[in-house]
Amino acid sequence: MPHQMWRHVCAAGREEVWGSPACSTCGVRGVFDGWYLGMWESVRVYKYVYGLNPFGPHRPLADRLLVPMRDVCVRCGGRAVLTIDEETWRRCPTCEGTGGVWNRPFDEIDAVWRRVVAEWPEAVLPSVYARARLREWHDPAGKKSSRRSANSRRKGYSSHGLSFDEVRRAFAEAERLLGATWQLKGRGHCRRVSLDARYSPHALSGAARSWAWVTPHESMSPRRLLPLAIVEKAAEILGVQARLLISREF
């Protein structure tokens, strides 16, 4: 089970993160830093993601080749769990509780995985070896991955791992909370932005009353712009940074 951590800036002058709310040196209560996976939960995640033994001499090679093939989840920041409050956590739905998403095609990932296994045969987990052999029998073209965690770019998700449905709902909720009356044109307009092309149609569908076609003075063509405040609120709901959704501010 994940556990809570607190960040302490000790009177002795050092900053540390501990599993206790009170500093072990000065006794002052720290700032709650959220929920984290424990060592054995992290071990299970490693097995699930890479299909390799988490311990052994193969780790330097496996980490050097395979870790760069995954992007850190933008929603949980790689923690695999989301912090609701000091008493509540939940598994991150964006990365399926793994802390990241694959950023390469499955055949490329499996080729690198086989390279690690060829050099360190004892590194592979028996269950994964069995799936790999079964895949070679039923899928000689290599279109499917033998690892259960092969979910790089699922249908309905961006390359960042965000669900387009969740993006739409987040913008709808942001519009509900902040309202739909915004001055997007003319003198004294609010801060306004265009969105990343991956998210724009879903965001505009969610906040359908808050956007407008605007031709900024430095642009020769009209653009669909949203109030920055709406985008920032939607990003907060999604648990990501607003800059991930924004293309440009006008």
pLDDT tens for the chain, 250 residues: list them.
Answer: 788 888 887 766 677 787 888 877 777 788 888 899 988 889 999 988 998 999 999 999 999 999 999 999 888 889 999 988 888 898 888 888 899 988 888 888 888 988 998 898 888 877 654 445 444 444 455 445 545 554 444 678 776 777 899 999 999 999 999 999 999 888 888 999 999 988 999 999 999 999 999 888 777 788 899 999 999 999 988 888 888 899 988 8
**Three-state secondary-structure class, residue 139:** coil
DSSP conformation class of 93 = T
User: Length of the chain in residues, anyone?
Assistant: 250
For residue 6, what are its two tokens? 């607190």
Alpha carbon 24 to chain centroid, angstroms: 33
User: Tokens standing for 65?
Assistant: 């080749």
In angstroms, the CA 130 to CA 215 distance is: 59
8 Å CB contact between 52 and 124:
yes
> CA-CA distance, 92 to 35, in Å (whole number)?
12
Q: Report how far apart, in Å, the C-alpha atoms of 227 and of each of 116, 168, 199 are.
A: 49, 15, 15
**What CA–CA distance (Å, rounded) separates 160 from 177?**
26
Distance CA(151)–CA(158), nearest Å, equals 12
Burial 16-27 (b: 16+ CB within 10 A, else e): eeeeeeebeeee
CA distance 244 to 236: 11
pTM (2 d.p.):
0.56
CB contact at 8 A, 6 and 20: yes
